[in-house]
Structure 1
Amino acid sequence: MPNTTAASDRSVVGQLSRPASFLLALPLILLLAFAFLVPLAKLLLGSIFAPTLTAEQYLRIAQEPIFVRIFLRTVQTAAIVTLLAFLLGYPVALVMSRLGGRAAMIVAACVLIPLWTSVLVRSYAWIVLLQRKGIVNSVLLNWGLIDQPLKLIYTEGAVIVAMTHVLMPYMILPIFSSLRSIPPELERAARNLGAGSWTSFLAVTLPLSLPGVYAGAIMVFILSLGFYVTPALVGGPHNLTIATLIGQQTTELLNWPFAGALAGVLLTVTLGLVGAFRRFLRLGKRV
């Protein structure tokens, strides 16, 4: 009886009223408002009121083919990066979930240490690898596989490879979390019923890990849509994405209204994808 009373007292103490909860969250709300919401609102309003109410900036995006191509290229690049991150990251997450002890710590360190390294440093590392006199071209020349250096840097392929490397931890960690939550007895039961290793993986492990796959995919895809540093450094001026185009409009051309319109379209696409993802995930849970 005393234990029950103590537990109930702790539950009452742990419950906070709405005003108290709001006061605790108020500093974060104010920081988010002043650091993100207010500048974003000012940028979006500047694209509509330039200086009077107009849709000229948004019509320009739809009417000029180059901007439509940049948007489509960005979405295509994000989709390819997401697919590659899944194909390369799922086996790593599967190995992480089934290892233990020191081996698991080593694999986890290999995933987390690049995540803790600056994106700028990792992007410059790819420049060192892929430039005309870089490591890759030097090795190929020394082995006699090519006669002259290949153009590896400042290409769309370089952007895809570098972005996949940078964003892969965001795919691995959610999948790893889902795989770790799967009871090992389920796969053993499938084996006892006669299923092979591949069949048990397809019938048990993969379906139960899909929430982690969905979370990692949407995270990588959305980050790829707005990625700036790696495409700007590795892709160069001839492989513009939406983020690099917005940066060009603000820093070089000083066309803030048009940059706000680009940001508004990007934000709309991102929110639409997040909403579609959440709806798809709810439907998947019902099934």
Structure 2
Amino acid sequence: MKQRSFSPIAEGPIPLMAPAAVFLAVFFLVPLAYVGWMSISQPVVGLQNFGRLLHSSLFASVLYQTFRTAFLVTALALLFAYPLAYAAANGSKRFATFLLTVVALSFWTSYLVRTYAWMVILGNQGPVTALLTWLGFDPAPKLLFTTFSATLAMSHALIPFMTMSLFSVMKRIDPLYVRAAESLGASPRRAFLAVYLPLSAPGIVNGCTLVFISCLGFYVMPVLLGSPRDQMIAGIIGDQIEQTLDFGLGSAISIVLLGLTLAVYALYNRFFGLDRLWAGGGR
């Protein structure tokens, strides 16, 4: 009698999806629902916590600071990541492997370790301060616990995400397009601006979306490296939970942060499509 071989794929997608669905339900959806309930039930049932946020000038200032920092970090990450991705996509295979390996190494280091590394580098006894003193800056400008140090550290942490997003698109650009433009009389600069840059636009949009959304929820680096006057929304959530023990207000701010993140995703999906975000903007 011939036995049928068991294939999970032949049984349909549900058995394959069930473990992940259960995991997400237990460790994501349930805690998220609890946070949502806390936002409307503490200290009493109602929307008073969201009302406090709506009429709070401090929250408006923090929200503005969060978006301003996210825009700045995204711009800096794009500025530094674009040349890296371009070199990796258009260089030799060995050079591209080396460059992408160096970029990927940052994924193996936790944000906390990198934060303390920046504290050493930018501290009063660090190499950057020593260099500035040697160059004649007396006293050397304070770099640590400023907006500059937090922005620099966050940009450094998110450059790999931008680089990978750009590289996945640039690698698919046929170099014949640029050569054709040059053969028709375009200068290398003109060919890059008119041909290559528009073709790499999906990678730019993908990378900027990922970096911007990631920056909205940054906690460790702004808290440990930034100025208390320039707190971001994640730091305010931590203060409400750890210091004032106002779980209702902290939960309400968390729901607002989630809503802002979903709004950015919705805008991206409206104009570009989320499938291109995960597919690397492929043609």
TM-score, normalisation: structure 2 = 0.90
Shift of 1:252: 1.9
Asked whether the 8 Å contact 2:147–2:227 carries over to 1, the reply is no
Moved over 4 A (4+): 13-17
Asked whether the 8 Å contact 1:73–1:241 carries over to 2, the reply is yes
Residue aligning to 1:53: 45
Partner deviation per Cα, 1:194-217 (whole Å, 9 max, x = no partner): 111111111211111111111110
Query: Residue 225 of structure 1: which of 211, 216, 229 is its match?
Result: 216
d(CA) in 2 for partners of 1:117, 1:235: 20
d(CA) in 2 for partners of 1:77, 1:40: 26
Asked whether the 8 Å contact 1:154–1:238 carries over to 2, the reply is no
Residue aligning to 1:216: 207
Letter in 2 for 1:172: T
d(CA) in 2 for partners of 1:191, 1:266: 47
Query: Residue 174 of structure 1: which of 132, 150, 165 is its match?
Result: 165
Asked whether the 8 Å contact 1:242–1:266 carries over to 2, the reply is yes
Asked whether the 8 Å contact 2:154–2:215 carries over to 1, the reply is yes
Residue aligning to 2:127: 135
SS of match in other structure, 1:227: coil
Residue aligning to 1:189: 180
Partner deviation per Cα, 1:114-161 (whole Å, 9 max, x = no partner): 2221111111111111112221111111232x1113211111111111
Letter in 2 for 1:210: A
Q: Please give the residue correspondences for 1:1-287 in structure 2 after superposition, counting only pairs within 5 Å.
A: 16=10, 20-144=12-136, 146-281=137-272
Partner deviation per Cα, 1:207-252 (whole Å, 9 max, x = no partner): 1111111111000000000011111111153331111111111122
SS of match in other structure, 2:272: helix
Asked whether the 8 Å contact 1:154–1:239 carries over to 2, the reply is no
Asked whether the 8 Å contact 2:166–2:207 carries over to 1, the reply is yes
Cα RMSD (Å) of the superposition? Answer: 1.8
Question: Relative to total residues, which structure has the larger helix share, 1 or 2?
Answer: 1
d(CA) in 1 for partners of 2:30, 2:138: 55
d(CA) in 2 for partners of 1:114, 1:242: 25
Letter in 2 for 1:281: F
SS of match in other structure, 1:238: helix
Letter in 1 for 2:40: I
d(CA) in 2 for partners of 1:56, 1:237: 27
Structure 1 unaligned segments of length 5 or more: list them: 1-12
Structure 2 unaligned segments of length 5 or more: list them: 1-6
Letter in 1 for 2:268: F
Count of residues in Structure 1 that have an aligned counterpart in Structure 2:
269
Deviates more, 1:198-207 or 1:46-55: 46-55
d(CA) in 1 for partners of 2:261, 2:79: 23
d(CA) in 2 for partners of 1:15, 1:209: 36
TM-score, normalisation: structure 1 = 0.89
Shift of 1:16: 4.4
Partner deviation per Cα, 1:156-197 (whole Å, 9 max, x = no partner): 111111100000111010110100011121111111111111
SS of match in other structure, 2:231: coil
SS of match in other structure, 2:230: coil
